Amino acid sequence: MDDPLLYLAGILGLGVAAQWIAWRLNLPSIILLLAFGFLAGLVGSPDDMIEQEILLAIVSLSVAVILFEGGMSLKLGELKEAGSAVLRLITIGAFVTWVLATLAAWYIMDFSIPLAALVGAILVVTGPTVIAPLLNHIRPAKKIGAIAKWEGIVIDPIGAVLAVLIFEVVLASSGEATSEAFWVVTRTIFFGVTLGVASAWTLVLLLKRFWIPDFLHNTFFLAVILVIFAVSNNLQPESGLLTVTVIGIALANQKQITVRHIFEFKENLRVLLISCLFIVLAARITPLEMFAVGWNGLFFLLFLIVVVRPASIFISTFRSDLSKQEKIFLCFLAPRGIVAAAVASVFAMELFHKMHDGDIPVDKLGPLTELAEKADQLVPLTFLVIVGTVTFYGLAAAPIARMLGLSSPSPQGVLFASAERWVRELAKVIQDAGFQVLLVDTNYRNVSTAKMEGIPAHCASILSEFVTEEINLGGIGRLLAVTPNDEVNALACMEFVHIFGRKEVYQLDSYDSGSGRRESVSNHLRGRDLFAEEVDFYQLSRRFAAGAQVKKTSLSEEFTFQDFNNMYGESAQVLFIIDDNSNLEILTSDSTTDPQPGQTIIAVVDPVEEAAEQTDG
């Protein structure tokens, strides 16, 4: 293809299409992104449209944004449960991975020790570009999800720094190696942490004093992140990854200003960047180039999956508080992604330039020549590992998590924002039907009563950070905002849209929707209208005060929905339907209620005597 405009637009279109198709088919998006990338490579390589140095610079800047967004998702409070395991994984686990991957590259791939050590360091990384989409797809339990997220984000700068360290040591003479290694690590940590903390503090100060207008917040943060990343990398190669990660963590955990809008913008940007980056980098290399590494490459990939990752997990978490199921799950979650590809490409280019620029001292040509002998296999081998690990872990991780009881494929649980009497009765019936429920209310008496009735409940505001950050929402997939305050309901829906998605946040009217009263909250701020139009908070409260009950009724050919209506009268209001596949359907104002035999309905019914009178009348 000769038209760069059409090619780049096609890359964007393919990325979004892959994300949408993956969502529709309930597949990990990274698998389809890689497949679409190889298809794009058949049309033309990005190297034909953009110079390699510029392309890799764009990739590096994109990775910086992704790591910054990943850092902003890391809450220090998560380390109360996950801290020990995370520390073990990014230290002992990273070391074990590097040693075993190095030995495998040396023995299986017949690489020299320096090149094998470099390959081992590059393959230490996993990263948010592959971990985040998988976790979004799997939705594991809170603790193990936090561990996987922290490991995947923090390990990126560690692996990149380790690769730089090994590269510098190889170029140094033997007497200078130890000293050079020490200074590389020292400089990287110094510039990464210092620039990261200083940048975060400056950004907080600027926002706190309102020196940045609202319309520039997102753009200003993006520009600062990219500039600081470039400056840090210029001062010390690959320290920029650590710098932007530190900025993200620092901003996410400070309490002086809110950065939620920044996070949401970067989250959307991350999806776009990942979609394009995977396709661009996959399009740069053909399957034939990966196959050129031969059977040895496949054995190397198999060794990483079967030996290296399990050994890393079980050695690093020995005598930790992780359960056997959690350790097994982590063994099935180590895909390599953009950072591994970018770092491998950068070092391959660096080796090429150093060998051909003629600026290397004669005494250092020996190790460099040895390192460059098989360096042409570095990028193809890395991509083989990326494709293999993404495919294997992408397909295996979710079923393994479900088999181990660490995730739900489609969370059916319901979070209720309220613990009023009628809410408790409704939640109890849903719980007895086999679905997870959780009640959140600021009224201590309501919460205490719910707990005595065996219903999980927390005394807190549904709008507090405690609910989203401290409460385990594993298995919960919907929000029902059913407080008597319409504004609180709307705010709760806005808060949980980014957790459950707009489809699964519901809001109950707090007043008679047919009374002609003006809406207290605009439609674009509300969740989906819960239950039928005539059903509101006070109507339900009055009915339960008059003796109404929640009934769970199984329909059959002998007892149809019509028979149900004949028994309980027209006042019976169906709220939920459990279908043939045991899925809980929540009825809304635009739902067409037509329950079929074999399904189960959950409805509010008036006392039988009153219902009979209404039917007779």
Residue 295 sits in a domain of what CATH number? 1.20.1530.20
Q: Is residue 10 part of a domain?
A: no
Residues 456 and 382 in one domain: no
Residues 396 and 441 in one domain: no
Range of the domain at 418: 413-616
Q: Is residue 186 part of a domain?
A: yes
CA 250 to chain centre: 19
State which of 403, 434, 451 marks the end of a domain. Answer: 403
State which of 403, 437, 457 marks the end of a domain. Answer: 403
Residues 360 and 420 in one domain: no
Q: Is residue 147 part of a domain?
A: yes
| % the chain with pLDDT above 70 | 88
Residues 527 and 395 in one domain: no
| pLDDT on residue 311 | 94
Residues 456 and 389 in one domain: no
Q: Is residue 34 part of a domain?
A: no
Residues 317 and 349 in one domain: yes
> Which residue type sits at 408?
S
Q: Tell how many helices (H) and how many strands (E) occur in the chain.
A: 26, 10
Sheet holding 549-554, edge to edge: 549-554, 600-605, 573-578, 584-586
- Whether 520 shows a pLDDT value over 70: the answer reads no
- Whether 615 shows a pLDDT value over 50: the answer reads no
Residues 375 and 423 in one domain: no
- Split into its structural domains, the chain has a count of 2
Distance CA 72, CA 69 (A): 5
Per-residue pLDDT tens over the stretch 467-506: 877 787 777 888 999 988 888 888 888 888 888 888 889 9
Distance CA 271, CA 62 (A): 11
Residues 394 and 484 in one domain: no
Per-residue pLDDT tens over the stretch 219-267: 899 999 999 999 998 888 778 888 998 998 899 888 888 887 787 777 7
Per-residue pLDDT tens over the stretch 309-337: 999 999 999 888 888 998 999 999 888 87
More confident residue, 338 or 109: 109
Per-residue pLDDT tens over the stretch 185-207: 788 888 889 999 999 999 999 99
Residues 491 and 561 in one domain: yes
Contact 87, 322 (CB under 8 A): no
Residues 359 and 441 in one domain: no
Per-residue pLDDT band for 514 (boundaries 50, 70, 90) equals: very low
Distance CA 30, CA 14 (A): 12
Instruction: Give the count of alpha carbons within 13 A of 594, CB side only.
Output: 2
Residues 146 and 60 in one domain: yes
- Whether 49 shows a pLDDT value over 90: the answer reads no
Q: Is residue 192 part of a domain?
A: yes
Contact 473, 412 (CB under 8 A): no
More confident residue, 142 or 417: 417
- Average pLDDT, rounded, for the chain: 82
Sheet holding 505-507, edge to edge: 457-459, 437-441, 413-417, 476-481, 505-507, 528-529
